[in-house]
Every structure is written in structure tokens, then in C-alpha cells.
Amino acid sequence: MFYREAGQFKASYQNDQQIFPIRQDQIGFIALMGFLFLVVPFIANQYWLQAVLIPVLIFGLAALGLNILTGYAGQLSLGSAAFMAVGAFGTYNFMLRIDGIPFLVALLLGGLCAAAIGILFGLPSLRIKGFYLAVATLAAQFFIVWVLVKFGWFSNYSSSGVITAQHVNILGVDFRSPEMKYLLTLTVVVVMALLAKNMVRSSTGRKWMAVRDMDVAAEVIGIRLMRTKLQAFAISSFYCGVAGALYAYMYLGTVEPEGFNLDMSFRILFMIIIGGVGSIMGSFIGAAFIVLLPVFLNVAFHSTIGAYVPADLASNLELIIFGALIIFFLIVEPHGLARLWQLTKEKLRLWPFPH
Amino acid sequence: MAREFGDVIIDLQNISLRFGGVKALTDISFNVREHEIRAIIGPNGAGKSSMLNVINGVYHPQEGKIIFHGQERQKMEPYEAASQGIARTFQNIALFKGMTVLDNIMTGRNLMMKTNFLHHALFWGKAQREEIEHRKKVEEVIEFLEIQSIRKTPVGRLPYGLQKRVELARALAAEPNLLLLDEPMAGMNVEEKQDMCRFILDVNDQFGTTIVLIEHDMGVVMDISDRVVVLDYGKKIGDGPPDEVKNDPKVIDAYLGTSH
């Protein structure tokens, strides 16, 4: 009843092309941002910030990176975690080796390193598609982690291969407390998500989707496949790289190359499948689902039957339920939770008078 | 109807195309004049679609010359053909299924867009102005083809006839000077066919677009085309105005058949 566009007329193409064409969505978005920026830092405790919100945001950004490549440009990839590793170790080395470099510059450069590596490993996409490409990107996953372990230079010859993120200080403001880390992460993620939204709603995004949906037709109307695919690889890897650097600097503090393993790539892939392939918001919903569900299950188990079953059985049960829920959601809506949200909104526009 | 045509826009000379041992086209020559509607007809497997693919650079013939706008054309890729003003539609609809009608048609204008992804990421300013400017042109095409009501619909949800029309719109959005239509009326009912004929004639008339079309509906072909090429087994067996082709015994034998 409250969510409908009656009376909202678009008098110019500019109005018609807004990110949120419906006023209720605009208000909702502003309210959400206000809540995340102004309210959450004051009400959330350290556990919520450090163990829930920051990882959801960071994985959401990584999922968004993969979604650009897989959801929009249609190129399947299993190397997202490796590109995150490039971003993390790239940023670390820029911070380490260039004296006084601002963190955001190092972050940008780390992301650009990931973009360059992404282009390199995107080259097979010019010849192969689908599952075969996924297998080719596996090479990136294993090769990059191997290089980071093998050559001590990347981890500044630390004996264990673990790097410890330097403290972040921007213009004299120290980002040591969970609240500050949360705010910095949130800012980077929101800005990058908006930039991504702008890209996918303009010519860049249309080219990606054209290549995804029908590459022959795309070529015939003048889209250069090679350039478009490699651009998608570069931008996707850039997003993953920045997410990886945030993962090291804002979330864990210490990371090792093996932390960015295939398991993590798969988790990111699950995030976009559950959240919604080809949806910016879906990336974040999927990340929230995959990161939070195990936490909720754990809490739920402990508060209910935790006292009666052995701990190892409980943790296995959690995994089983987690898997079952993923399957359940995929059956209910194969296009992901974002689609579910979309359908709800479409229904809501007519509710409660569907005619 | 006597119509005036301009110069030869594309001249195909002795084109031969092979896939391994299979000869798709053998020694085919014909030309297309500016502003005419040129039909290619022939039985299934005669090489009609291959011919279009040669014209817009999807296939590269092993032998023969293509003279385009008076210049011999080197081996070219489809995007180069597109940038020289050749647009086409496909026999099996080749729309971008996940995108809306509007986005599909906007994609048709990608070659005229000068901004890059950094402009797009920021959107405000240059990218937005360009987007609006091209949106205006796209709306003209939408109006021309009478598909205003479906502009925000994902193309996957549209019925077949409308999808064909959207595909034509996408090709027109590129403002081509040579438009290749591969069976634009296949699978349509009479009414839809009449609409499509009207659109093709209007495009030809209003925009002066040269059109090469493949079509199996002989009523349509003989009605709207100025000259007809007949292919059979990759060879040219007839070429000329519809009336002439219609009565050519070789063409009747290979394709048209006789009424009993």
C-alpha cells in the first residue's frame, strides 16, 4: 500500500535513468545509509562489528567483484580469492616499501595490481567459455597462492609467510578501533558499490551483458569481445583486490597466502549464486547469508539443544543444516535472494488491491 | 514500380567459402545498389546466411573480392563491419535475453558512444549527457517501430513477433547504411508479416537504408524487393528483378516449383 509509484511521473530521461527511480526506494536507501553510518557505530558492540559487519561488507565487495565478471559479463571464475590475495599482498608491499604512502593510495595500487593479474588470467577467456574457463581460472587460484608462498619477497621474508597489516592512519585519524575500521570499510564498500551500479547501468554494463547473453550478436553490433572481456576481468579483479586488502587491514590484521584458498573462492561463488547472479545488491545479500547463517545456527544450537548433544555432533549438524538451507533457497528461487526481493517489491506495488 | 538507385554500395566478386571440405559458397558474384531492397532466396542450405555472414565479416571467404564503397575490403572482423555502417538481424533471434528492450536497443548505439568505463563509474556529467542524448535517438527508433509500451520489459518475456521487431530496432539504432535481415518474417502470422513489411519499406524509404534480406515467403519477397539473387547449393542460379526471376525455369526448377 505504501510502496507504489502512483503519482510519480518521469518528465525527463534524466529522471527516468536514476539508480532508484521509485521515491520509496530512494528514501529507503538514504535511511539505510543513515543507519549504517550514524547509528550502527554507536549501538553495535565489538563482536558485531568485528565478526559480523566488517566481514559481511568485505565479502560483499568480493562477491560484487565476482558478480561483475560472472553475473554481468558471463565469464565463470574460480580465482576470486587469489585476486583478493594479490590485493592484500600488493597493498602490504606498497605500504611497506614506499615511505609515507597514504593507505587509500596503497589500497588503490593494490587493487590495480590485482586488475593487471586479472587481465593476464583473463586471456584464456578469449578462446574458452563456461566450465572450461572456470577450470582455467583455477590455474590463477593455485598459481598466485604458490607464487606468494614461494617468493619470500612478497611477505617481506617473514619466516611463516604471514604478513601483519600496518596500522592505518588517514590524515592523522587512527583506524585502530573496531568502530573506525567499520566506518572506513563501509565507506570504501559503499563508494565502490555505487560506482559499480553506475557502470552496469550505462554503456559499459550493457556491453558486458551483451557479451554474456549473445556474444555473436554483440560482435556484430560492434562490441569488441576481447576488450570487453578483459575489461570485465580487470574491473572484477580490482574489486576483489580491494576486498582482499580490506580483509587483511580491516578484518584479520594478519593474513597468509594460504588463507586465500580455493575454499574461499567457492564461498564467494556461493554468495553470488545465493544472493543473485547479476545483481549488485544480491552480492551483499549473499555475503550476509553465507557469513551470518553459520553464526546464527551456532547461536541457535547453543541456546537450544547445545547442552544435550556433543559439540562435534552439533557442529556437523550445523553444517548439514547450512547445506540444506542453501539447497532450499536455490529450489525456491534459482535466481537468488535478490530476485526474491525484486518479486516481493513487484507484488507490493499492487498489494492489497491486485487489480 | 520504377525506382532510382544510387551507386553500387557493395560488390561481391567471385566469392567462394569453404568449411574444410564443405563448399558453402562457390564463385558467387552480385552487387547491391544504394537504396535498394535486395533479396536473397533459395532452398535451405543454399548458403544464404553464409552470404550475409561474409558481408558482415563473420566468415572470411577463401576466394573472391569484396568491394565496399568503391574500395576493396581487406579481411575484416564483425565489429569493423559494424563501424562502417553494416547492421544485421539474425535468423534465430539473437537478442540479449537478460536485458530490457530499451537496453537492447541502447546497446545498438554503443559504437557512437565515446565515454569510457571511468566516466560511466562516475556517471554524472559527460556519461549522463551522452546517455540522455542517445536515449533520445533510441526513443525515435522505439516510436518508429511502435514498441513504446514494452520498452522496460525484459526481452525474454516478449512474444516472438515482438522480439523480431526489437531486434530490428537494435539494428536500426546503429543508423546503418546497409542493413542485413536474415528471415525477418520467419514464424510470424500474416498480420505480423504485414507490419514487418511496412517497417522494412519505411526504413528503406525514410532513412534511405539499403537492405539485403533473406526470406522464404515468396509473396513478400516478390512484393517488396527490387532485385533478387537466387542461390542453390552455394551457387548462384538467378539474379534480377522479381518478375524476371519468378519466370526463370532454373529458379522454378530448383526452388519455386510449379503450381499444380
The pLDDT tens digits of the residues spanning A308-345 come to 878 788 888 888 988 898 888 888 888 888 888 888 88
pLDDT digits (tens, 9 = 90+) for A123-147: 998 888 888 999 989 999 999 999 9
What value does the CA radius of gyration of chain B take, rounded to a whole number of Å? 19
> Dmax of chain A from CA atoms?
69
Instruction: Judge whether B34 and B176 are in contact, CB under 8 Å.
Output: no
Q: With contacts defined as CB-CB under 8 Å, which chain B residues touch A213?
A: 95-99
Q: How far apart are CA A273 and CA A330, in angstroms?
A: 8
The three three-digit cell numbers of residue A181, written as one number: 575500521
Interchain CB distance below 8 Å, B96 and A218: yes
Q: Is residue A299 part of a domain?
A: no
The three three-digit cell numbers of residue A233, written as one number: 576481468
Residue B124: band (very low, low, confident or very high) from pLDDT cuts 50, 70, 90: confident
E strand or H helix that includes residue A265: helix A262-275
Q: How far apart are CA A154 and CA B259, in angstroms?
A: 81
In terms of Cα–Cα distance, which of A171, A17, A147 is closest to B131?
Answer: A17
pLDDT digits (tens, 9 = 90+) for B226-255: 999 999 999 999 999 999 988 888 888 888
Residue B125: predicted pLDDT? 85
Interchain CB distance below 8 Å, B131 and A199: no
Residue B165: predicted pLDDT? 93
The three three-digit cell numbers of residue A295, written as one number: 553464526
Q: How far apart are CA B181 and CA B191, in angstroms?
A: 19
Q: How far apart are CA A263 and CA A81, in angstroms?
A: 8
Phi, psi of B10 (to 5 degrees): -140, 135
What separation, in Å, do the N-terminal and C-terminal C-alpha atoms of chain A show?
13
Mutation site for A-interface testing, chosen from B117, B148, B155, B182 by largest number of A Cβ within 10 Å? B117
The three three-digit cell numbers of residue A96, written as one number: 611497506
> Dmax of chain B from CA atoms?
68
Work out the number of other CB atoms within 10 angstroms of the CB of residue A185: 25
The secondary structure of A22-57, three-state, reads: CHHHHHHHHHHHHHHHHHHHHHCCHHHHHHHHHHHH
Instruction: Judge whether B83 and A222 are in contact, CB under 8 Å.
Output: yes
Q: Cα A249–A254–A257 angle (5° rounding)?
A: 100
Q: Is residue A193 part of a domain?
A: yes
User: Which residues, listed in sequence order, are joined to residue A219 by a DSSP beta bridge?
Assistant: none
In terms of Cα–Cα distance, which of B109, B111, B103 is closest to B80?
Answer: B111
The complex's ipTM?
0.90
Domains of chain B: 1-85+176-260 (3.40.50.300), 93-173 (no CATH)
Say if strands A254-255 and B8-19 run parallel, antiparallel, or are unpaired: unpaired
**B225 has pLDDT over 60:** yes
Q: Which domain holds residue A180?
A: 38-260
Instruction: Judge whether A238 and A114 are in contact, CB under 8 Å.
Output: yes
**B204 has pLDDT over 60:** yes
* Sequence-ordered strand ranges (E) for A205-305: 254-255
Instruction: Judge whether A220 and B58 are in contact, CB under 8 Å.
Output: yes
Residue A1: band (very low, low, confident or very high) from pLDDT cuts 50, 70, 90: low
- Write the residue in A195, A202, A213 that is nearest to B97 by C-beta: A213
pLDDT digits (tens, 9 = 90+) for A28-56: 999 999 999 999 899 988 888 988 999 99
Distance of CA B81 to the CA centre of its chain: 12
The fraction of chain B above a pLDDT of 90, given in percent, is 65
Residue B259: band (very low, low, confident or very high) from pLDDT cuts 50, 70, 90: low
pLDDT digits (tens, 9 = 90+) for A206-258: 999 999 999 999 999 999 999 999 999 999 999 999 999 999 999 999 999 99
Q: Is residue A317 part of a domain?
A: no
Q: At what angle do helices A54-66 and A178-200 cross, to 10 degrees?
A: 20
The three three-digit cell numbers of residue B61, written as one number: 571467404
Residue A33: predicted pLDDT? 94
| Average pLDDT rounded to a whole number, residues A156-183 | 88
pLDDT digits (tens, 9 = 90+) for B2-20: 567 788 999 999 999 999 8
Q: Which residues of A touch B (CB under 8 A)?
A: 12-14, 17, 195-196, 198-199, 201-207, 209-210, 212-214, 216-224, 231, 235, 278
Residue B260: band (very low, low, confident or very high) from pLDDT cuts 50, 70, 90: low
Q: Tell me, yes or no, if B117 comes closer than 8 A to chain A by beta carbon.
A: yes
Q: Cα B52–B55–B56 angle (5° rounding)?
A: 90
The three three-digit cell numbers of residue B163, written as one number: 522480439
Residue B1: band (very low, low, confident or very high) from pLDDT cuts 50, 70, 90: very low
Q: Tell me, yes or no, if B56 comes closer than 8 A to chain A by beta carbon.
A: yes
Q: Tell me, yes or no, if B160 comes closer than 8 A to chain A by beta carbon.
A: no
Residue A79: predicted pLDDT? 92
Q: How far apart are CA B176 and CA B153, in angstroms?
A: 25
pLDDT digits (tens, 9 = 90+) for B80-118: 999 999 999 998 889 999 899 999 999 999 998 888 898
What value does the CA radius of gyration of chain A take, rounded to a whole number of Å? 21
Mutation site for A-interface testing, chosen from B80, B100, B107, B113 by largest number of A Cβ within 10 Å? B107
* Sequence-ordered strand ranges (E) for A24-179: 163-164, 169-170, 173-174
The three three-digit cell numbers of residue A186, written as one number: 563501509
Q: How far apart are CA B197 and CA B193, in angstroms?
A: 6
Q: Tell me, yes or no, if B133 comes closer than 8 A to chain A by beta carbon.
A: no
The upper half-sphere exposure of residue A77, i.e. CA atoms within 13 Å in the direction of its Cβ, equals 40
The total domain count for chain A is 1
Interchain CB distance below 8 Å, A219 and B81: no
- Write the residue in B58, B117, B136 that is nearest to A220 by C-beta: B58
What ranges in chain B are assigned the alpha helix state H?
48-55, 78-83, 101-107, 117-122, 126-144, 160-173, 190-202, 218-224, 242-246, 249-251
Query: pLDDT averaged over chain A?
Result: 90
Work out the number of other CB atoms within 10 angstroms of the CB of residue A277: 24
Instruction: Judge whether B107 and A210 are in contact, CB under 8 Å.
Output: yes
**Sign of torsion, CA B193 B198 B202 B204?**
positive
| Average pLDDT rounded to a whole number, residues A265-283 | 92
pLDDT digits (tens, 9 = 90+) for B50-85: 999 999 999 999 999 999 988 888 888 899 999 999
Q: Is residue A74 part of a domain?
A: yes
Residue holding cell 558481408?
A: B55
In terms of Cα–Cα distance, which of A13, A113, A324 is closest to B130?
Answer: A13
Residues 6+ apart with CB under 8 A from A143: A82
- Write the residue in A198, A220, A235 that is nearest to B78 by C-beta: A220
Phi, psi of B141 (to 5 degrees): -65, -40
The three three-digit cell numbers of residue A97, written as one number: 616499501
Residue A219: predicted pLDDT? 92
